[in-house]
Amino acid sequence: MTPLLEVKGVSRFFGGLAALSDVTFQLYKGEILGLIGPNGAGKTTLFNVINGFYPPSKGEIFFRQQKISDMQPHRICKLGMARTFQVVKPLQRMTVLDNVIVSAYLRTGSREKAEKTAVETLHFTGLFEDRYVVSKGLPLGRRKRLEMARALATGPTMILLDESFAGLNPTELNESIGIIRKIKESGITIMIIEHHMKVIMAISDRIVVLNYGQKIADGTPEQTRNNPLVVEAYLGDAQNG
Amino acid sequence: MNGMLAIKGIDVYYDDVQVVLDVSFSVSRGEIVALIGANGAGKSTILKSISGLIRASKGEIIFDSRPVHTLEAYHLIDVGIAHVPEARRLFVEMTVEENLDMGSLKGDARKHRAKTREMVYELFPRLRERRRQLTGTLSGGEQQMVAIGRGLMSKPALIMFDEPSLGLAPILVREIFAVIKKIRSEGMTVLIVEQNVKQTLAIADRAYVLENGQIVMEGTGESLLNNEHVKKAYLGV
Amino acid sequence: MTGPQVEVLLQTLISGLLLGGLYALIGIGMTLIMGVMKIINLAHGELMMVGMYIAYGLFTFFHIDPYLSVIIAAPLLFILGVLLQKYLINPVMKVDSILPENQVILTVGIGMVLANLATIFFSSDYRSTPVDYATKAWYLSDVWKSSPIELSLSFPWTVSFLFSLVITAGLWFFLTKTDTGKSIRATAQDNDAALLMGVHVEKMRVITFGLGSALVGAAGCLFIPIYYLYPDLGGQFTLIAFVITILGGLGSTVGAIVGGIVLGVFESLTSTYIGMGWAPVGRFMIFVAALIFIPGGITSLFRRKRLGR
Amino acid sequence: MKKYLPLILMGLLAMLPLVGINTYLMHIIILVIMWSVIGMSWNLLGGYCGQVSFGHAAFFGVGAYTAGILYNKFQISAWWGLPASIVFVTGFALVIGYICLRLRGPFFALATLAMGVILRVTAENLSFLTEGDLGIMIRERTWVDKTWYYYIILLIAACTFYLVKKVIGSKLGYYFVAIREDQDAAESLGINTTLYKTIALCLSAVITGMAGAFYTNYMGYIDPKVVFALHDISIVAIMIVMVGGVATFWGPVIGSIIMVLLAEGIRSIPNLGAAHHSFFGVLLIVIIIFLPNGIMGDNPKLKKILRWGRTP
């Protein structure tokens, strides 16, 4: 089976410092891949490289058998890869509905069709009630979900979620987990950065762990949890203590 | 022990998003107190609201029995609080020495500048070698040393560290933690925010565990180190 | 190259260098403001124009030498800058609007008012200060009798250049050796970190705007012995200052000096070899080229080398 | 009712000359309409797409000179400048866009400002084409009466209004606003931001250029200082939108009514005429501080202020 996404030996330097070094992994259709690692491990940088904001300094990335590591973000999105941002970037002065319509226009030129897709997506993500709210005034939980809705409305085959759960209260958290399961059921492949260990362990099929820009583990949640390298990366070694 | 810093029921919002909910805790003179918790739990935000970079919308912050939450950020250093911020935040186009000098702009600290600087160089001999170098050209570990040194330059009573081990190799992390212990032994009080739970708890007298902007647990460093919940919170064991 | 050709080229380079030194002073004022406040001051040239009218007024009514008027004009401009920053620019930086360029447009408004007030008070006539040394010059043949080529060094140009060197050196001393200077640099580099060091950031912004205005005002006094003065001259110098900052890299004082000199020399070459009227076009060709080829400015080229390990 | 407002207004305006108004008033109305056109076009790029241009005089001037040069060098009616300017201005807009659109925010603004100045200086120096500072004079005016000029600019304005309305309601408009709100988000949602910014720039430039070509025909005389003016064209275009309302349909219309009347009003007051830039500048400052999104844009705020005035 050919992978949907293939990251091959990707490195990214900033002013001589390696934010990512030689990261390689694959992602198969229908999977949920969790990406974890301590603060500053390079997770968001990896997303930015995959999604085309930064070209990799070394290495290549293939998506649906096409090389995307030299493409601009909008082309990668058109190919079917959507993303959300850790720091939410709603189109502030637009309503929730208009935000999603913008995304839906990617696959159509007609206002009716775009609005139809947008309304469906809003129902799917439970934001329909808020459709006429200007997104600036939306509480954080809803804004995070709006990010997801926007990504979904572009009609992706794969979606990158960057900390879509951070700062949510328990109710919102459960709702969002439900939405992610639903996204998976609809056949969309998911890659997700998350700090809520409980959540990531529960929903991921496979987990990739980054530390200092390097991949230190790649396996099932069970394997990851018992991997001494991962434990050390998270809790730190206490030899000095 | 006498209470030096007391946080009383603060709420903090970022834009209109609440990141800290009714948090209270205290730090006594001479202690090392740690705040631990996952990313986004609100640890850094608490430090920023103590040092005045963000204002708490509710609650009080008392330092040396005087309220400091009403002070402008640039006055906090005058009352004796230094904040070594996350990601170091050095003045990258200045030399090591200029960065250190920036830590001692006011009052007594300014008078004793040369002496304190010597003390910092004793603590980090490597900085003396590089004192004419621009900090932007230093390695991550050296930059962290400058950041800590800069914090010490104001001769604070309380020094707050935000993720001092971030992005450092294990051997350097150990060095930084050793320095923090030494700083306390010289009479300063330390409040530290960390993700490196094990090492932090190993040096901390007391620690508070934060989840989603609330304190969910507190205890001595040792008791938390052996606590099952702490392990769970971090690895989902 | 024949003798006369060399002579023309060298003479052109000398004038370019002298002009560039003055340009650098204008550019430094703008780059300081840009670095600390992260805004572009489009009233910069108009502030220079105000400085020139002050020098003109002092000369015409009190017979004070333009070079001497620097010590009066610079403090006045400092105060003007402080007032503008405190009561107009600062409030707007806090306003939420659809177009974040509001502050830039605001400075355009300030510039319009200044230029127009100058027209009302002084009419739009061209003015100058007829100093007695205006045409004085030193010649190479005076010092070297058998020189194969003849070069001249205009007295007012040279004095202005030297003054601008002195002012730049003074500024450099202030920025690197005093705590206030360091605090200004710190504010430009990291606002929050500066706050944590106890720097009164708002005050630094006000001081910086004052300082930038004083610098460009001083540049105005240095320009008046060698340049005509009219109310609308500001816009042209705003653009020059902006081109210099783009050339040199935003917020970099060293960059502004390099940028100023590069621009001065280039303009001088354009007017010698292509035609006087084309100098502004040459200026903007450099500008466009800098935008396309070196987006971080000239200093970024050095920096890349220094930081690239 | 509201839906038909533009049509009703058009109808009323079309009948206006039948009432028989004097030449001066007609001149003012023509100016207002011409500036509305420029304002609407600036609004398309600046207000909706968020790319604040300080150099719309460049496009106005190129349009004006297209008409002028056709007449002066090729002996064709300057009216051909209207269609011809579409081609020329688009060409210029593509070049300027290539250079400036890679910059963001205030740097784009300044780069466009520089472009305006470059074109002015070029026009001053390319005398063989532009007659330099002497300018170009259209010696045979098409009509003595202003009525036909009025109908032509009214038609251009109506088309512009219709175009802006159509664009803003469509995919294009959504994309423009998305780019204004967050360029990175827009890019990651599959919007080719460079392409759409270029489209916004070209549309805006072409409309302004047509206004310029009309200006040549209407005024009968152009020179570089007038048609490439920074303060009197580029800045006024910004002010019209700022005063009237950023990213609103009627904002530019209201803004140009206010600005033209203000300019004429100030000029007609003895001893104050020379100070009209000061008034503009102060107005600009006041608007930015108190009504940052213009009269139409800050309606609720304005209402609040008025209400507050009534209840002491």
Is A164 a member of any domain? Answer: yes
The pairing of strands A17-27 and A158-162 is unpaired
Indicate the pLDDT class of residue D145, thresholds 50, 70 and 90. Answer: confident
Is B175 a member of any domain? Answer: no
On the 0-12 / 13-18 / 19+ scale of CB atoms within 10 A, B96 is buried
| Maximum pairwise Cα distance, chain A | 64
Q: Is A155 on the interface with D (CB under 8 A)?
A: no
Tokens of residue D60, six digits: 């106005």
Neighbours of D271 (CB within 10 A): 7
Is A127 a member of any domain? Answer: yes
**In this complex, which chains have at least 3 CB pairs below 8 Å with chain C?**
A, B, D
Q: Is D121 on the interface with C (CB under 8 A)?
A: yes
Separation in Å, CA of B35 to nearest CA in chain C? 20
Chains D and A touch (3+ CB pairs under 8 A): yes
Tokens of residue A185, six digits: 């059921």
Is A61 a member of any domain? Answer: yes
- Nearest of D295, D180, D238, D175 to residue D42 by alpha carbon: D238
**Domain end among A103, A134, A155:** A155
**Mean pLDDT over residues C148-176, rounded?**
91
- Nearest-by-CA chain D residue for A50: D188
User: Hunting for tokens 């926007």 — which residue is that?
Assistant: A150
8 A C-beta contact, residue C49 and residue C229: yes
The contacts of residue D238 (CB under 8 Å, 6+ apart) are C105, C108, D42, D46, D52, D53, D54, D56
Helices (H), chain D: 5-19, 23-42, 56-74, 81-100, 106-125, 127-130, 147-169, 171-181, 183-188, 193-219, 224-227, 236-244, 251-268, 276-290, 294-297, 299-310
Helices (H), chain C: 3-37, 44-62, 66-84, 90-93, 102-122, 140-143, 155-177, 179-189, 191-196, 201-223, 233-248, 253-273, 279-293, 298-307
Residues on chain C touching A93 (C-beta within 8 angstroms): 98
Q: What is the pLDDT of residues C237-293, one digit of tens each?
A: 998 998 898 888 777 788 889 999 999 999 999 888 888 777 777 787 788 788 777
Partner-chain contact C109 D103, CB within 8 Å:
no
For residues A238 and A119, membership in a common domain is answered with no
CATH, residue A214: 3.40.50.300
Q: Is B92 on the interface with C (CB under 8 A)?
A: yes
Question: How many structural domains are present in chain C?
Answer: 1
Is A26 a member of any domain? Answer: yes
**In this complex, which chains have at least 3 CB pairs below 8 Å with chain A?**
B, C, D
Task: Give me the pLDDT at residue C304, please.
Answer: 46
Tokens of residue D18, six digits: 């039948």
Residues on chain A touching D178 (C-beta within 8 angstroms): 91, 94, 102
Q: What is the pLDDT of residues A15-72, one digit of tens each?
A: 667 889 999 999 999 999 999 987 778 899 999 999 999 999 999 999 999 999 999 9
Residues on chain B touching A241 (C-beta within 8 angstroms): 177, 198-199, 201-203
**Mean pLDDT over residues B103-111, rounded?**
91
Partner-chain contact C307 A16, CB within 8 Å:
yes
Which residue, among B198, B227, B232, would best test binding to A if mutated, counting the most A CBs under 10 Å from its CB? Answer: B198
Question: How many structural domains are present in chain A?
Answer: 2
Q: What is the pLDDT of residues C41-65, one digit of tens each?
A: 999 999 999 999 999 999 999 999 9
Nearest to A92 among D170, D171, D181 (CB): D181
Task: Give me the pLDDT at residue B233, please.
Answer: 64
Is B75 a member of any domain? Answer: yes
Would the CA dihedral through D256, D257, D259, D260 be positive or negative?
positive
Partner-chain contact D174 A109, CB within 8 Å:
no
On the 0-12 / 13-18 / 19+ scale of CB atoms within 10 A, C122 is middle
Q: Is A187 on the interface with C (CB under 8 A)?
A: no
- Rounded distance between C-alpha atoms, residue C84 and residue C264, angstroms: 30
> How crowded is the C-beta side of D114, counted as CA atoms within 13 Å?
31
For residues A164 and A240, membership in a common domain is answered with yes
Q: What is the DSSP letter of B73?
A: G
Q: What is the DSSP letter of D22?
A: -
Q: Which residues in C190-215 are b (16+ Cβ under 10 Å) and which e?
A: bbbbbbbbbbbbeebbbbbbbbbbbb
- Nearest-by-CA chain D residue for C96: D292
Task: Give me the pLDDT at residue C307, please.
Answer: 38
> How crowded is the C-beta side of A40, counted as CA atoms within 13 Å?
19
For residues A73 and A125, membership in a common domain is answered with no
Tokens of residue A99, six digits: 């935000």
Chains B and D touch (3+ CB pairs under 8 A): no
Strand partners, A214: A211
**Interface size between B and C, measured as CB pairs under 8 A:** 69
Q: Is A234 on the interface with B (CB under 8 A)?
A: yes
Q: At what angle do helices C201-223 and C155-177 cross, to 10 degrees?
A: 170
The contacts of residue C130 (CB under 8 Å, 6+ apart) are none
Tokens of residue D204, six digits: 């805006």
Q: Which residues in A2-39 are b (16+ Cβ under 10 Å) and which e?
A: ebbbbbbebbbbeeeebbbbebebbbeeebbbbbbbbb
Tokens of residue A194, six digits: 């998350």
Is A10 a member of any domain? Answer: yes
- Nearest of D49, D30, D312 to residue D205 by alpha carbon: D49
8 A C-beta contact, residue D37 and residue D157: yes
Nearest to B105 among C176, C179, C306 (CB): C179
Tokens of residue D233, six digits: 């064209």
Q: Is A124 on the interface with D (CB under 8 A)?
A: no
Neighbours of C284 (CB within 10 A): 19
For residues A50 and A163, membership in a common domain is answered with yes
For residues A87 and A61, membership in a common domain is answered with no
- Rounded distance between C-alpha atoms, residue A104 and residue A110, angstroms: 10
Phi-psi region of B155 (alpha: psi -120 to 50; beta: other; left: phi over 0): left
Tokens of residue C175, six digits: 């920025």
- The domain in which residue A131 lies consists of 81-155
- Nearest-by-CA chain C residue for D241: C99
Partner-chain contact C91 D247, CB within 8 Å:
no
**Interface size between A and C, measured as CB pairs under 8 A:** 6
Partner-chain contact A236 B199, CB within 8 Å:
yes
Separation in Å, CA of C81 to nearest CA in chain D? 16
Task: Give me the pLDDT at residue C309, please.
Answer: 26
Strand partners, B214: B211
Measure the N-to-C terminal CA separation of chain B; round to a whole number of Å.
36
- Nearest-by-CA chain D residue for A88: D185
CATH, residue B72: 3.40.50.300
Coil, strand, or helix at residue A66?
strand
Indicate the pLDDT class of residue C298, thresholds 50, 70 and 90. Answer: low
Q: Is B155 on the interface with C (CB under 8 A)?
A: no
Q: Is C222 on the interface with D (CB under 8 A)?
A: no
For residues A51 and A163, membership in a common domain is answered with yes
**Mean pLDDT over residues A220-235, rounded?**
83
Separation in Å, CA of A86 to nearest CA in chain C? 22
Strand partners, A95: A134
Task: Give me the pLDDT at residue D299, please.
Answer: 62
Indicate the pLDDT class of residue C218, thresholds 50, 70 and 90. Answer: very high
Is A213 a member of any domain? Answer: yes
Mean pLDDT, rounded, of chain D: 88
Q: What is the pLDDT of residues C98-124, one digit of tens each?
A: 777 788 889 989 999 999 999 888 888
Tokens of residue D240, six digits: 């019209």
Q: Residues, chain C, total? A: 309
Residues on chain A touching B169 (C-beta within 8 angstroms): 212
Phi-psi region of B94 (alpha: psi -120 to 50; beta: other; left: phi over 0): beta
Task: Give me the pLDDT at residue B234, please.
Answer: 62
Indicate the pLDDT class of residue D121, thresholds 50, 70 and 90. Answer: confident
Q: Is C93 on the interface with D (CB under 8 A)?
A: no
Neighbours of B14 (CB within 10 A): 14
Is A185 a member of any domain? Answer: no
- Nearest of B195, B196, B229, B228 to residue A238 by alpha carbon: B196
Mean pLDDT, rounded, of chain B: 89
Beta strands per DSSP E along chain B: 3-14, 17-28, 32-37, 58-63, 66-67, 81-84, 158-162, 189-194, 206-211, 214-220
Q: What is the pLDDT of residues D268-308, one digit of tens each?
A: 877 776 777 888 888 888 888 888 888 887 666 655 555 54
Considering only A1-15, C291-305, D8-22, which range has the smallest mean pLDDT?
C291-305
Partner-chain contact C307 A15, CB within 8 Å:
yes
The contacts of residue D261 (CB under 8 Å, 6+ apart) are D28, D32
- DSSP class per residue in B142-158: HHHHHHHHHHHTT--SE
Q: Is C308 on the interface with A (CB under 8 A)?
A: yes
Q: What is the pLDDT of residues B12-63, one digit of tens each?
A: 987 667 789 899 999 999 999 999 887 777 889 999 999 999 999 999 999 9
Helices (H), chain A: 43-50, 73-79, 96-104, 111-125, 140-153, 170-185, 197-203, 221-225, 228-235
For residues A56 and A101, membership in a common domain is answered with no
Residues on chain D touching A151 (C-beta within 8 angstroms): 189
pLDDT at C129 over 90: no
Coil, strand, or helix at residue B11?
strand
- Nearest of C177, C220, C186 to residue C205 by alpha carbon: C186
Tokens of residue B13, six digits: 């919002």
User: Hunting for tokens 């009302």 — which residue is that?
Assistant: C120
Question: How many structural domains are present in chain B?
Answer: 1
For residues A53 and A163, membership in a common domain is answered with yes
Partner-chain contact D188 A85, CB within 8 Å:
yes
8 A C-beta contact, residue A127 and residue A142: yes
Q: Is A241 on the interface with C (CB under 8 A)?
A: no
Would the CA dihedral through C72, C74, C75, C77 be positive or negative?
positive
Is B222 a member of any domain? Answer: yes
Is B121 a member of any domain? Answer: no
Q: Is D232 on the interface with C (CB under 8 A)?
A: no
Task: Give me the pLDDT at residue D304, please.
Answer: 58
Measure the N-to-C terminal CA separation of chain A; round to a whole number of Å.
48
Nearest to B137 among C185, C189, C307 (CB): C307
- The domain in which residue C9 lies consists of 3-307
8 A C-beta contact, residue A170 and residue A119: no
Partner-chain contact A93 C98, CB within 8 Å:
yes
- The domain in which residue B63 lies consists of 1-80+191-237
- Rounded distance between C-alpha atoms, residue B202 and residue B206, angstroms: 10
